[in-house]
Chain A
Amino acid sequence: MNTVNRRIYLYSRYERFWHWSQALLVILMMITGFEVHGSYKLLGFGNAVNLHTVSAWLLLTLWAFTIFWQFTTDEWRQYIPSLKKVDAMVRYYAFGIFRNAPNPFHKTAAKKHNPLQRLAYLALLSMVSPVIWGSGLFYLFYSSWKGLGVDAWLSLEAVAFVHTAGAFMMLVFFIAHVYLTTTGHTPTAHIKTMVTGWEEVD
């Protein structure tokens, strides 16, 4: 423990707010969504539907602001994928991490995410989210289908199928994501960073 620790400010206040409120909402949506789906009984169907709906609108609003923020701060560039060093990251998680090898990636304010993370987040943004959002919005506006003629070519069953598929992907992402937060130099290091905004780098 004799290395000189440098601290860098990685996550701005808005970013942390956005991250944690999104986390909360997504967890809530998973809990309520799978109850609506019939996987278990917890809050009661009616409550689950109401909470799910309210969370959907909150998440939508949060996203609107966040997209705005991403582009005004140029932070969206954090998600531009690159294949450089992806193999190194894969090797690190597959072998190096067990041998105490150094993490090949070094976080900087300009590059917050390692190449594997970038790919994962990009996949989340470009695949899982659209699937959930697209189907979720159709689900939400089911009562307007008739007026818009949507009922002629779309069934609720299909929408629910796509939405549930998205929900499973989200859950898998969530499991992996939460686990990977423990892979910092201490198990809670990443979490702390996301709370305080400061990352210790060696």
Chain B
Amino acid sequence: MLSRLKFILPLMAAGALLAAPTAFAVPAAPAAATAPQLETIIKPKASTADHSKFKELNRNFRTGPQVTEACLICHTEAAKQVQHTKHWTWESTDPKTGQVRGKKNIINNYCTSPVSNEKDCMACHAGYGWKDDNFDFKVEKNVDCLICHDQTGTYRKLPGDAGHPVYKRVEFPKGSGKFVEPADLKKVAQSIGMPSRSNCGSCHFFGAGGNGAKHGDLDASLQHPGKYLDVHMDEKGLNFTCTTCHATSSHEVSGSRYNVAAAVKGPAHIRGKQDESPAACQSCHSDKPHHEAMLNQHTEKLACQTCHIPEYARNEVGTEASWDWSQATIMGPDGKPMVSKDSAGRRKFDSKKGTWVWDSYVIPEYRWYNGVSTYKVIGDKIDPSKTVQINEVGGSPNDPDSRIWPTKVHRGKQPYDKVNNYLTVQHTAGEDHTALWHNFDWQKAIGAGMKAAKLPYSGEYGFVDTEMTWPITHMVAPKHDALSCEQCHSKQGRLQGIAGVYLPSRDSNRWLDMAGWTLVLLSLIGVLIHGGLRIYTGKNKGQHK
């Protein structure tokens, strides 16, 4: 026994000595890579060129393409570069699945498809003149430089002009009594600068035809946000522009929902380095951004956005939760088209478009996501007995490249071909007799849309439930507004529906709990009975001792 002891004793002592310092291992800060204080790095952008001094631009331009020709005198490769990007092609090929998607090919859950509606939709195309499928994608002067580079804020493109800016004073919206003035294209050309928030925002804040309507994490309040809304873009703080994160080279803008870097690993990046995902949080913050190891280990399962964007549309602008097209063509009591708004002044019903439901301060829906979305493209078969998934986000708990992501799920009702079982393309915008918004006739609108899409139409349409899933990534909250532990670590928490992870406090083994608490209860009862008997028998014998 004693010889055994001699062996055990030093072992224990050594163990104790080893154990004591490890006590400090956990709270001690690992080399946590917090983001550099960018306010000290980013200076107001000062270009080396003053475009107002260039004689090429000192001209009275009449059209957008004329300006582009002037730009291309010096920027010889710019148009070719733009023509390779989604901003021009409205098409994108998934690098992993090979699926060809993009606005041109999918039917989304809002305005559905631009096909047959190009004159309106192309107000947000970085080009001039895309009005039908005869558009020539090789003509360089049709690239619109100004929509991204104008710094006067006067350059506007309206629906109906196929991507051309306003050349003549025009009432917009029609019948509103409000007028849009044409921009002085010379002044615009001379103002050229790097894209500001308003350049990107002129399209991306107003997706689906209304402020904040589409994304939920992008709206015009990001022009002048406070810290609460967006810790990075906070005008009085870091004051990021869109391109601070969406680092761009050769006009290729990084970061896209069509190809999301869902699970970026490793340390923070050095800007300028060849970088797959400069727009990802991790490129500045690394995948271990916290001081506590316990929090850092969460990044193996969670996207940063999950905790740090606790709600999206955190303002009164809000975002659309649903769009029901089946209500379109319903007329007002007087038989005339009708519109109505909700109490916050957001569109609620329009005989042209149907009904919408808006929401603000929205709690995201959480999904496993690996960055790959598979879209329904025009002509893809659907099962009308189920809710049609406009896009399906890929990913699973056991996939090392998947993370739990916050998403906006936008719900809708869309027309579909009841015989051929696919979503229809409809001709909505325009002044002709087949346009839905002019003639309020679904049959004609679908007929014209399907013809333009070169898709057979059976002549029978119905409406089907749809869902579209958007990963949420903007409007990052200040750290003190991030989710608290309890918001997921509890029985009715945010991640209630997420399978494949053991979440302390949410999960437990039912049988063990039952057995455990039964045993605890029995010992309590046993002890009470024993103690009660002691008191009782003690009394009977009179006071002892």
Contacts and interface: CB of A to CB of B under 8 A. Distances in A.
11 contacts: A1-B545, A37-B505, A38-B507, A67-B12, A98-B537, A142-B297, A143-B293, A160-B508, A165-B516, A175-B520, A176-B523
A179 B502 contact: no
A46 B505 CA distance: 11
B244 interface: no
Contacts of A165: 512, 516
Which among B506, B508, B537 has the greatest number of chain A C-beta atoms within 10 A?
A: B508
Contacts of A68: 12-13, 16
A160 B504 contact: yes
Interface of A: 1, 35-38, 41, 44-46, 49, 53, 57-58, 60-61, 64-65, 67-68, 71-72, 93, 97-100, 140, 142-143, 146, 155-157, 160-161, 164-165, 167-168, 171-172, 175-176, 179, 182-183, 185-186
Contacts of A155: 502
B439 to A, nearest CB: 59
A38 B19 contact: no
Contacts of A172: 519-520, 523
A36 B505 contact: yes
B467 to A, nearest CB: 31
A61 B517 CA distance: 30
A57 B23 contact: yes
Contacts of A36: 504-505
B45 interface: no
Given A38-B508, A175-B527, A156 B20 contact: no
A89 B299 CA distance: 55
A37 B504 contact: yes
User: Interface size bucket, B side?
Assistant: 35 or more
Interface stretch (B194-202, B384-392, B483-491): B483-491
A132 to B, nearest CB: 13
Interface in B465-510: 484-486, 489-491, 502, 504-509
B74 interface: no
Contacts of B9: 71-72
Nearest to B400: A146
Contact of A171 (B13, B19, B520): B520
B544 interface: yes
Interface stretch (B322-330, B372-380, B528-536): B528-536
A143 B301 CA distance: 12
B15 A64 contact: yes
B544 to A, nearest CB: 6
Given A71-B12, A164-B508, A60 B523 contact: no
Given A35-B505, A143-B293, A164-B509, 4 more contacts: A45-B504, A155-B502, A160-B507, A164-B516
A185 B545 contact: yes
Contacts of B17: 64
Contact of A175 (B296, B485, B524): B524
Contact of A97 (B293, B505, B534): B534
Which among A35, A57, A97 has the greatest number of chain B C-beta atoms within 10 A?
A: A57
B27 to A, nearest CB: 8
A166 to B, nearest CB: 10
Given A68-B12, A176-B523, A61 B19 contact: yes
A61 B17 CA distance: 9
- The 9 A-B residue pairs with the shortest CB-CB distance, nearest first, are A64-B16, A168-B516, A143-B297, A38-B505, A46-B485, A98-B537, A57-B23, A179-B527, A45-B485
B500 to A, nearest CB: 11
Contacts of A93: 530
Given A37-B504, A172-B520, A99 B23 contact: no
A41 B493 CA distance: 13
